[in-house]
Amino acid sequence: MKILKYENKGKYRYFRRKIAEWYKLNKRSFYWRTKTDSYTILISEIFLRKTSAVYAEKYIIEFLERYKTVKDLYKADDKMLINFFKPLGLVNRGKGLKRVSKQIVKDYNCEIPKDRKLLKNLFMVGDYVANCILCFSFNEKVPIVDTNVIRIFKRFFNFNLINPRPRNDKEIWYFAKKILPYKNVKQYNWALLDFGALVCSSRKPKCISCPISKKCSFLNRSLP
């Protein structure tokens, strides 16, 4: 599968190094980044879908204090779950989490699976959430691809996507895996998420102060 029109390993190394350096000085701190249990990661990532991390954090903490385990969530009163999510305008999110808990309790003996295919059998778990669990909980060397990451790749590497739904594009996932660092993958993935949110944002990107602007194809159209 040919992902780009060129292979530029030097640019890949430059990208990884600069992103890592930036992250050391600018990383964000969130509750779920201090945890490694798969339940916390699963709940947090489902919460964060199309929701600001800064806004959602206090609700995630409150939810996990109330429902500490998969069993607690499975036994939760449906009405209480719906009421919890009403202020957020995410009633269906509560229903979805209850459905996920039922699957885990009944099909996997209360254990969140470590296998990617089994994870993707869970309701509300696609490639992104599955890889978040594998990376952040089980330390697997897998890429994390969301809107922020796709934007960075498109701009910096001049990555052209044909799929109208970029997050489902196999080529972007293949490329993201291809350029993963050999170590510190968890930190690298967090760095990309933070960089996309704080620097390479969708509106008014901070190109002037961007640490990778020197080789960014978005700013330098002549670059490969």
pLDDT confidence tier of residue 168, bands split at 50, 70 and 90: confident
- If you average pLDDT over residues 75-99, what whole number do you get? 90
pLDDT in tens, 17-60: 999 999 999 999 999 999 999 999 999 999 998 888 999 999 99
8 Å CB contact between 32 and 44:
yes
Domain 37-136, architecture per CATH: Orthogonal Bundle (1.10)
pLDDT at 63 exceeding the cut of 70: yes
Instruction: State the average pLDDT for the chain.
Output: 91
CATH no. of 9-28+141-215: 1.10.1670.10
CA 219 and chain centroid, separation: 26
Query: Any idea where the domains of the chain sit in the sequence?
Result: 9-28+141-215, 37-136
For the whole model, what pTM was predicted? 0.91
pLDDT at 134 exceeding the cut of 50: yes
Which DSSP string corresponds to 18-76? HHHHHHHHH----GGGG---HHHHHHHHHHTTTS-HHHHHHHHHHHHHHS-SHHHHHTS
H helix count then E strand count, the chain? 11, 0
pLDDT at 224 exceeding the cut of 90: no
- If you average pLDDT over residues 120-148, what whole number do you get? 96
Report the candidate in 98, 70, 105 with the shortest Cα–Cα distance to residue 82. Answer: 98
